[in-house]
Structure 1
Amino acid sequence: MSDTSAIVRDFFLLKREALDQSVEAFRALNAIAPVALVEPLNLYVVTGYDALKEVTLRTDDFSSRAVTGEDGAMRPALLSADPPAHSRHKRLAGRAFSPAALRPREDDIRSIADRLIDEFIEDGRVEFVSQFALKFPVVTIAALLGVPIADEAKFVDWAFAHIAPLGKPGGLGPGADEHNQSLMTSFAKYFDRAIRDRRAESQDDFISTMVAKSDEGDVPLDDGEMLSILRQLLTG
């Protein structure tokens, strides 16, 4: 195998040496463009504007639809769905994140930033990524979804559990898969209950907005679609 192919393979296997050479890995991908087969993952990677545009528009041939289990706990939705379902999900979920919906929340979001800064300001120094940059968007999304402050730590753990398999250099340690799966199950149970509660009694949060009836006549999001969208918000 050539060095070019090796660095691409190792990059998608999340090997630390290749991740440290991400620029070189993407240069190698561009050299193989527009389509590269990454073995042993049996994964095809598409690069280049024209090729990516074609793949994006040919939804019948290159579907975004997620492959889910028979229990349907996670339904194809938003990023994991194709038009016209994708368009419906975008309209319904987008209501919660429109400028008009976010504007009244501005002071609340600022207070979250202030609270996180207060946790380290007296130290006179900060590790900005771990102490603020990673936490701020996750905690903000939690607040917008109506998660109480007492459950914020759980929400942060759930977010990192969902992205851990994709972002841990060198792979996950012993027992990590089981631990992360347990956290993801806990997330699903928590928000399954929250979704049902909001259907029964609306609250001033984004879950209530997303499950509400649409003025445009769209079929409301079902529980499986909601859970999938919430997972995407969690890691977005």
Structure 2
Amino acid sequence: MEKQPHIAVVDDHEEIRELVGRYLGQHGFAVSAAADAGEFRELLTKERFDLVILDIMMPGEDGLSLCRHLRATTSIPMIFLTAMAEDTDRIVGLEIGADDYLPKPFNPRELLARIRAVLRRAGGSMVSGEAEEGAKQLRFGDQVLDLVRQEVTGEDGVAVPLSSAEFRLLSVFLEHAGKVINRETLIDLTSGRDPGAWDRSIDNQVSRLRRKIEVDPKNPVLIKTHWGDGYCFTGKVVPG
């Protein structure tokens, strides 16, 4: 029997926590709720989560700050809930590592669809069944990408975990090695959404990925910038 995906709902509005928790519970998810960032941080020491639904505007530590912490310490996928109308606030969330966002008020069915889409993209066992150990790896230069563990191991043998967004981005680069991919295509392939006119979130994601796989991120040799066109992965990719 497949494990229930465990979802955390972090929102200071009790009615939203109850609505989302009840609806997701009816559709096969285990749900834990937190009223603020501090309460969620405490939950995180006791529980393992497959995805976090996170409100941006909360008293005390806001959702953006919590997102930065989660992205620096975990690879848990995140979906933002936001009542903010400005596109820039949503883009900031995507830039710092959120996987998707949904503006309030929202339809629970749409939230459910987005959760399932993010979990599929993250390659979680909760969608496709338990992943088998010893699955495929891809090697580029002296580094190996483990497609199950979502981590990169260098020649020193140290494994560096990737966030779900970083993993999808690197997977796209490896699949299209040697080809220049524009920003719009990268956003579509990694997040499944249409980019806005001023959406530069992919540039921030590339910067974060460079810090994990480049010897000198300021002078990258694997992920090259093609000004006005996009990016190109120059490394040779072979099965690990």
The structure with the greater share of residues assigned to helix is 1
Same fold flag (TM > 0.5):
no
The structure with the greater share of residues assigned to strand is 2
| TM-score normalised per structure 1 | 0.26
| TM-score normalised per structure 2 | 0.26
Higher relative contact order (CA 8 A, sep 6+): 1
